[in-house]
Structure 1
Amino acid sequence: MSRTVTLVLVDPAGAPLGALPPYDVPEPWWQEVGSVVAEARRRYGVDVAVLRLLTADRPEPPGGHLTYLGQVPERPAVPLDPVSVDLSPHPLRAPWAEPGGPARSLAWAAAELGRLGRPVATVAQQRTWNLSAIWRLDGEDGSAWLKQVPVFFRHEGAVLRWLAHAAPGVTPTVLADDGAGRVLLDHVPGEDRYAAGVDERVAVAADHHAIQVRAADDVAGLIAAGVPDRRGPALARWIRAMLAPHEVSTVDGLLAGLDDRLDEVRRCGLPDTLVHGDLHPGNVRGDGERRVIIDWGDAFVGHPAFDILRLTETLDPATAGPLLAAWAARWRAHVPGSDPERAVALLRPIAPLRLAAVYAMFLAGIEPSEHPYHAGDVPACLAQAAAEAKRD
């Protein structure tokens, strides 16, 4: 599956110039714009910064015909097709999605690298969507990555700073952080481990357990640094608030009993700690020698079982069983008398319910043109939560 792309161009002041003829790119995933930029340069000699998604011809990813807005330094020499698009401001638009936004972020990153004695030679845009904008910056002294996130993910910088101090080596090295959503990370060799097998997931779970044991002793500090508090009653209030605008009749019973269920979870005896929030293998990067956990924007303070449930959710029960048993044994050794298995069982339907609330939070925090990225995720997660509750 591929994408067909129409790229509407604006100048640095945001004035519309027209659109390049449609062209195909190989990756179907809408947020991946590296090939969009590369093909515009190869086909038309145009250097463009992709700003945001404008329209899609299907309700959700992947594939289809997408129209993006892109900024160019000047009117290109190639003929442009006339096009009518709504370019009016929106209060929820990300700073990198505005004309001039990428240039401001890249100027900040180049200045920070310059102070470190690592001048930038080339820049390549990799991703842009409602959850992040990512660029790779290369120079003679190595590569770095600029990541910029929206307001609801701004605590990622605080998490990375805490991890660098409390558990060095488990995440990419932070080179700079502006405290407002931009973070500059040193390159980590290897690849994102989407295809990780069971043995590798076991190792990731063990790595993460050490982080969570350390974080359990500094919950107050993490919350003070801005990491969201999703402990017990706070989690219940947040889930209900996020899901209030959505149709939730399929999980009415689960929501009604949420406080009592979370009380039972608390009585299982495991401590609240730092939760990654999206601990699937794709958020692990490694090269066989070093392994790090990336993308901490979903992090919160809460129950550690949410991460093991996420790490095992795509595995069949027979395969997941030993991984869950090893996780439970580690926590039982750390907290004698606790009941990790009971906590997992109680939280199994809450995990997709929480994810539904996460996606609802995204939808509430992004402009409508980008809703197709997540609109189908809320009902899908609610359906999964209802199914888990029936099996409970």
Structure 2
Amino acid sequence: MTRTVSAWVSAGDEVLGSVGPFPVDIPWWSEAAPVVDRLEKLLGVPVLVLRLLDVDGGEGGRDGHVTYHVEALGRPTPGMVEQRAVDPDLFGGDEILRSPWARADGLRELFGWAEETLASAGRPVTGPVEQRRTWNLAGLFRLPTARGPVWLKATPRFAADEAAAIGAFARVDTGLVPVLLGFGERRILMEHIPGVDCWQPSAETIGAAMERFVAAQAALADQGPACLGDGFSPSARAVGPDQPGSGDGPTSAGARAEGSSASGVPDRRAPDLVTAVHALLDGPAARELTGQELIAARELTRRWEPLAECGLPDTLVHGDFHPGNWRSDGGPPVVVDFADAHWGHPVLDGLRAHHFLPEPSRTAAARAWADAWKARVPASDPARALVLAEPLAQLTYAVRYQEFLDGIEPSERVYHEGDPVDAIRAALRSARNPGPHLAAAGAPTGTA
């Protein structure tokens, strides 16, 4: 399948009508750039994709027919927008969970902050902001400057404080993470990283990513949560409506924005995760899982006890450490996207890449991660930790997916519907049948 698109076009408070359907060449719903490009050619004015309104067909965040709300930054070419009656329920009213970057006024405020911040840093914006991606988990924009592009990222209230996480890693390995040019509440400005995303990494890239990241995590483990400064949050869940915060001026990576009320980097050590998993099993998941599945999932939480016996320290965890979040121009990868960062067990990062790698690469990734930790904590058993934690990682994802669903407006829930239960069932499957690549990395099989 491919993605086809329709758009309801507004200009300020006026809904002008609709455009489409038309095909675009990238199937992912969150990829706004091809939609913007096609609409600007059709309408003859700059536009911004605000948010997804509806999806017919497709799955997994791709394909099907997608309808967006689009803001025109001028009056479109006459006759290019079809004037139609507007369903009052289509736009969802003033939805309290709507992301700031899904509102025209929120985007104006965000771009204004970014331009002012870069100008104060001696890096003024030299052209129009380019919208690259928008969805409930982030808005991503490219800002041209005379010294190269800068990336603006906005995140929701339930995202980790990326500036705090990036800053902590930067203090132990500057080149491991993006250079921050400024940040504010739930927003960061990043220097462009040369190269490509590592969706098909070589064995050398996998080894370099595991070795370098583990080295940084081991150094941060020695410092404890204090390495995050005011960015550490003892709360594992963020609550409350998302509101755009005031921006802060340019600052070095790791500095804290005075007066910031971002959600922080949550504490997700074993006690908090066990509590969160049981709350999910007693709440939303209970309606979709069988009684036997619920019992088995609760039993899996006992694995956190023997996992602790593997001797690995709690540290700053990326939370989504897959190759698409590594970027390289041939050297050791730079790691991006810390929106799921937390303080917890590092095995989650050791396992995450496996779901995105071809079978032959999985054993090498597991072995590289285990060897890196064994070299730094000789008394530990990271290989055993991988097998013990394979189901626990899925339970952790289930908790995170439910947080997404709890924190986003109804029209965007299509991105994540069913994900918590799917992850719980994946945990049960992996407990019954551990990944063979983990056993090949030196871990025992059949561990309960």
TM-score in terms of structure 2 length: 0.83
Conservation of the 8 A alpha-carbon contact between 1:269 and 1:337: yes
Amino acid at match of 1:228: P
CA RMSD of aligned residues (A): 1.9
| Mapped pair 1:147 → 2:153 | yes
**Alpha-carbon deviation of 1:333?**
2.7
Please give the residue correspondences for 1:1-392 in structure 2 after superposition, counting only pairs within 5 Å. Answer: 1-12=1-12, 14-58=13-57, 60=59, 61-79=61-79, 80-81=81-82, 82-85=84-87, 86-87=90-91, 88-122=93-127, 123-178=129-184, 180-221=185-226, 222=228, 224-225=230-231, 226-243=264-281, 244-246=283-285, 247-249=288-290, 251-289=293-331, 291-315=333-357, 319-391=361-433, 392=446
CA spacing shift, 1:263–1:289, aligned 2, 3 Å: closer
Cα distance in 1 for partners of 2:428, 2:207 equals 28
Q: Tell me whether 359-368 or 285-294 shows the greater mean CA deviation.
A: 285-294
Q: Matched residues in 2 for 1:133 and 1:351: separation?
A: 26
Kindly provide the amino acid, as one letter, of the partner of residue 189 in structure 1.
Answer: P
State the one-letter code of the partner of 2:148: G
2:46 touches 2:74 (CA, 8 Å); kept in 1?
no
TM-superposition CA deviations, 1:304-333 (whole Å, max 9, x none): 111111122344666433432332233223
3-state SS of paired residue (1:20): strand
TM-score by length of 1: 0.94
Q: Aligned AA for 1:183? A: I
Q: Secondary structure at the match of 1:161?
A: helix
Which deviates the most, 330-339 or 190-199?
A: 330-339
In 2, Cα distance between equivalents of 1:55 and 1:256: 35
Gap change, CA 1:141 and 1:265, over 3 Å in 2? same
Question: Deviation string for 1:124-164 (max 9, x for gaps)?
Answer: 10011000001100122211000000011141121112222
Matches of 1:340 and 1:57 in 2, distance apart?
Answer: 44
Quote the Cα distance in structure 2 between the aligned partners of 1:212 and 1:187.
24
Equivalents in 1 of 2:289, 2:216: separation in Å? 35
Q: Secondary structure at the match of 1:344?
A: helix
8 Å CA contact 2:394–2:426 kept in 1: the answer is yes
Q: CA deviation at 1:258?
A: 4.2
- CA distance in 2: counterparts of 1:242 and 1:198, whole angstroms: 37
Aligned residues between the structures: 390
Provide the rounded CA distance (Å) in 2 between the counterparts of 1:164 and 1:114: 24
Given that residues 124 and 145 in structure 2 are in contact (C-alpha distance below 8 angstroms), is that contact kept between their aligned partners in structure 1?
A: yes
* Contact kept? 1:119, 1:139, Cα under 8 Å: yes
Question: 1:241 corresponds to which letter in structure 2?
Answer: A
Q: Distance in 1 between matches of 2:8 and 2:46?
A: 13
Residue 59 and residue 237 in structure 1: after superposition, are their counterparts in 2 closer, same or farther (change >3 A)? farther
Deviation at 1:62, TM superposition (A): 1.3
> In 2, Cα distance between the equivalents of 1:369 and 1:327?
39
Q: Specify the SS of the correspondent of 2:17.
A: strand
Q: 1-side partners of 2:413 and 2:395: how far apart?
A: 19
The residue aligned with 2:438 is: none
- C-alpha change, 1:323 and 1:22, in structure 2 (3 Å) is closer
Are residues 314 and 49 of structure 1, via their aligned partners in 2, closer, same or farther at CA, if it must alter by over 3 Å?
closer
Q: Which runs of 5+ in 1 are unaligned?
A: none
Determine the C-alpha separation between the residues in 2 that align with 1:142 and 1:319.
Answer: 35
Q: Residue type of the partner of 2:86? A: S
Secondary structure of 1:169's aligned partner: helix
Say whether the 8 Å CA contact 2:350–2:366 is kept in structure 1.
yes
> Structure 1 residues 100 and 336, CA, compared in 2 at 3 Å: closer, same or farther?
same
What secondary structure sits across from 1:7 in the alignment? strand
State the distance in 1 between where 2:20 and 2:58 align: 23
